[in-house]
Amino acid sequence: MVDARRRRLGSLARTWEWPLAIFFVVGGWALGKLLVRLLGRRVARRFQRPSVTRTVLRLIRTGSLAIGAFAALSVFGLGLGDLVLSVTVFSAVLGLVLAPIVGSVINGVFVLADQPYEIGDMIEITDTGQRGFVEDITLRYTKVFTLDNTFLVVPNGSMRERDVINYSAEDERIRLRLSVGVTYESDVAEARHIMEEAAKEVETVLPGGPDIRIGSARYVAAPTARIDEFADSSVSLTLHYWAKEPYKLSKVRSEVQTAIWDAFAAAEDVEIAYPHTHHVFDETSGTARVAVDGDRDGNGRGGETDAATDADLTGRER
């Protein structure tokens, strides 16, 4: 009689094992969502960084779900020691597969700690030239929304090994430069003034204001043109100017170049230079046979009398 009762109780317990395990898993998932909702603002105020806030909230959700999973496994008689042993054996067998993932997680911790970029920053990966906005930073990867309307997902291990330019980390203003060559006959002072005034008229360029400080150095906020070098065919002028935002740099450059082009075209004493070469001939240059087109014979060859003339390269007839 006692054995029959025990069998009935055991059968009843086995009947409730799966529903109870599912209840624990769903409960852990629901608990995680509830904790995220209750603690989300506090965590955001505490860390004041979107990437760290998202990571902490993910860990809270994962931890709650893990607790529910452990509780569900305990329903089937699996204790913590059995789980640790199983995980240890599994990790040893799949160590080669898990190593890159573990490496990415460790590098993700360093990325979050070093703060090279943050969610919302505009960055450029120098080796590929791809630019975009940081969409998300997890422990395993960084997601970048590129300017070509595509997603770029880069493992944090690879991200830490690359040179990354952050355009909007501290100050969105960015310094650009433009080099223009004018002829030696041009009024160089007037050319510099025209370049500066033309750049100031562009809406996306800082026209002036207080000096901009970078480290211990200070730079003039207004566009400034200086003589860069005396080149072979031109006087090279370099214009330094500040763009208000780093998001459409190619458009800013195009607008500045168009403004300078139009201003130079309206100026009388300034001309954009083009490469040219002077050939100097003297008595050491030798001689050359020169054929006159009008005196060629029917075969296309110069006549014997005056169709071909020996002339030295100084321009004097022999």
Give tens-digit pLDDT for 200-212.
Answer: 999 999 998 888 8
Give me the chain's average pLDDT, please.
77
Record the tokens describing residue 208, joined without a space: 């002036």
Pairwise CA distance, residues 191 & 180, whole Å: 10
pLDDT at 168 (0 to 100): 79
Find the mean pLDDT for residues 18-41: 76
pLDDT at 288 (0 to 100): 64
**Per-range mean pLDDT, top range of 38-47, 141-150, 235-244, 307-316:** 235-244
Residue 140 has pLDDT above 90, yes or no: no
pLDDT at 81 (0 to 100): 55
pLDDT at 309 (0 to 100): 44
pLDDT at 95 (0 to 100): 56
Record the tokens describing residue 317, joined without a space: 């007839």
Residue 165 has pLDDT above 80, yes or no: yes
Pairwise CA distance, residues 228 & 82, whole Å: 73
Residue 40 has pLDDT above 80, yes or no: no
pLDDT at 311 (0 to 100): 45
Find the mean pLDDT for residues 76-83: 58
For the whole model, what pTM was predicted?
Answer: 0.58
Please indicate whether residue 172 or residue 291 has the higher confidence score (pLDDT).
172
Find the mean pLDDT for residues 286-315: 53
Find the mean pLDDT for residues 248-270: 92
